Structure 1
Amino acid sequence: MYAAVTLFLFMCLTATTHADHHQPCHSPNMTGTMSVMNLKGEAKGYGAFTYDSMGKKLRFISNESFATNSSVDVDLLMLFDEGLFYEIDSKNQSCEKKQLQCTLNPLDIPDDAKFHATVQPGNPSIEGEGLKVNMWTGSMPEVKGGYSMFVTMGCLPMTSFYFFESTSFVISNMDIELEIKDPDLLVVPSFCVGQALVETPEGTINSFLNEFM
């Protein structure tokens, strides 16, 4: 797995040239399936997501009906603009409200991202066999890491690589539909309203990916 990812990145980095005039786009509303894996090939999360592009809200429910042996069972409501997120336990009607130290959004290109290249995996000469994507890169100083995001020409994030000192992750998005099918998923559950903010231990950096480390 690691060798395959490294080879893919190398091909992308060497096959095309920079174009500084590109500006980061922003993803539309989406519903789909997301997988989170580390570069050892371990599935850390797999489940359904709902994303509000204007409100910068993401609901990700892992393992609800896609259970895998090594993945983490989570239900997360990320409120990126507010710098908050909720860990939700619907079965027990409980939740924890936490502050985001790193507002890493796996479904949106950061405004300071740098355009690296346009690549076309597959065979562009055969209809249906090639997909043109833009590659964006950047750093995450809060967590001493970096990222590479591969986004379609319509600004749908397909695959993102996140690199940290201790580990790395691959996020892949599939079965994407350009709508919010269930808006209630993006509303803070009634049993979470008024919840006190959980104190973050010194040295801890809360982020979306931190939930899978």
Structure 2
Amino acid sequence: MYAAVVLVVFACLTDTIHADHHQPCHPPNMTGVMTVITMKGEIKAVGAFTYDSMGKKLRFRSNDSHPTNTSVGLDLLMFFEQGVFYEIDSKNQTCEKKKLDMDLNPLDIPDDAKFHSTITAGSRSIEGEGLKVNIWTGSIPNMKGYYSVSVTMGCLPVSVLYFSESAPMLFSNMEVDLEIKDPDLLLVPSFCLGQPLEESPEGTVNSFIHEFM
């Protein structure tokens, strides 16, 4: 995992030739496993995700699906286009509906992202021992930081590194399938229907990444 961080950082610091013809791609529907780790090597969460690319809907469940001693327990249903999300507690049949203050989506490339470079992780000279990825970068004004997204040639997100003053974090994906295996996971649970939008305390910022801070 540390090697992945070094790879992305190296890509961001390396001089590259920028190609104006590159346009950000958008990934297909996906099911997989996401790991969230700090730059200090602390695992914040490991969990299963389901992503609807067209609707920009994400369900992420940690602990119950992939328990780790250091991970936070989260069940999040994100509606990025609608600007709201749900924190779900299926065990107690409760949930909280909140406004998204920032639309940081670790499974998509922002439309205003800048193409940075194409690199090969592993070996370019040995067949089957390398993975070619495109690096896209951009700024995060609200966090006084920036991001670096790595995607395969088929636009599958491998990782995204968020740099900020408070808590730089790496989101990486594995065991990805190009399908939504359980569409019901992207529906608001019946016990959440009609839930009012909660008021956030002053100074609170709601986003997917802030759930792990």
> Shorter chain as normaliser: what TM range?
over 0.9
For the residue of structure 2 that corresponds to 1:17, the secondary structure is: coil
Q: Aligned with 2:26: secondary structure?
A: coil
1:77 aligns with 2:48: no
Is contact 1:15-1:119 (8 Å) kept? no
Aligned to 2:56: 56
What secondary structure is seen at the aligned counterpart in 1 of 2:210? helix
Structure 1's consecutive aligned runs of 4 or more residues displaced over 6 angstroms after TM superposition are 1-4
Q: Work out the CA distance in 1 between the residues paired with 2:30 and 2:85.
A: 19
List aligned pairs for 1:122-201, cutoff 5 A.
Answer: 122-201=122-201
Structure 2 partner of 1:22: 22
**Count of residues in Structure 1 that have an aligned counterpart in Structure 2:** 213
How far off its partner does 1:10 sit? 2.2
Q: Per the alignment, in what secondary structure is the counterpart of residue 131 of structure 1?
A: strand
Residue of structure 1 equivalent to 2:204? 204
Q: Following the alignment from structure 1 to structure 2, what is the Cα–Cα distance between the partners of residues 4 and 45? A: 17
Name the TM-score, length of structure 1 as normaliser.
Answer: 0.95
SS in 2 for 1:133: strand
Give distance in 1, aligned partners of 2:108 and 2:81. 12
Q: Deviations over 1:23-74 (max 9, x none)?
A: 0000100000000000111110101000000000000001113211211000
Is 1:116 the counterpart of 2:105? The answer is no
Which residue of the partner structure matches residue 98 of structure 1? 98
Residue pair 1:77, 1:186 contacting (<8 A) in 2 also: yes
SS at match of 1:147: strand
Tell me: CA distance 1:140–1:15, structure 2 relative to 1, closer, same or farther (3 Å): closer
Question: Whole-Å Cα distance in 2 between the matches of residues 15 and 121 of structure 1?
Answer: 17
Is this contact kept in 1: 2:8–2:150, CA < 8 A? no
Q: Secondary structure at the match of 2:173?
A: strand
Is residue 46 of structure 2 the alignment partner of residue 46 of structure 1? yes
Does the 8 A contact of 1:12 with 1:119 survive in 2? no
| CA distance, structure 2, for counterparts of residue 42 and residue 111 of structure 1 | 30
- TM-score normalised by structure 2 residue count: 0.95
Percent identity of the aligned residues? 69
Unaligned stretches of 5+ in structure 1?
Answer: none
Query: Per-residue CA shift, 1:121-156, capped at 9, x if unaligned?
Result: 111121110111000000111222210000001000
> In the aligned structure 2, how far is the partner of 1:48 from the partner of 1:123?
29
- SS state at 2:130 partner: coil
Measure how far apart 1:19 and its partner are.
1.3
- For 2:121, the aligned partner's letter is P
Amino acid at match of 2:144: K
The 1:189/1:81 distance shift into structure 2, 3 A limit, reads same
Per mean C-alpha deviation after superposition, the further-off stretch among 194-203 and 91-100 is 194-203
Residue 46 of structure 2 contacts residue 67 of structure 2 at CA under 8 Å; is this kept in 1? yes
SS of 1:142's equivalent in the other structure is helix
Q: Runs of 5+ in structure 2 lacking a partner? A: none
Alignment RMSD (CA, Å): 1.6
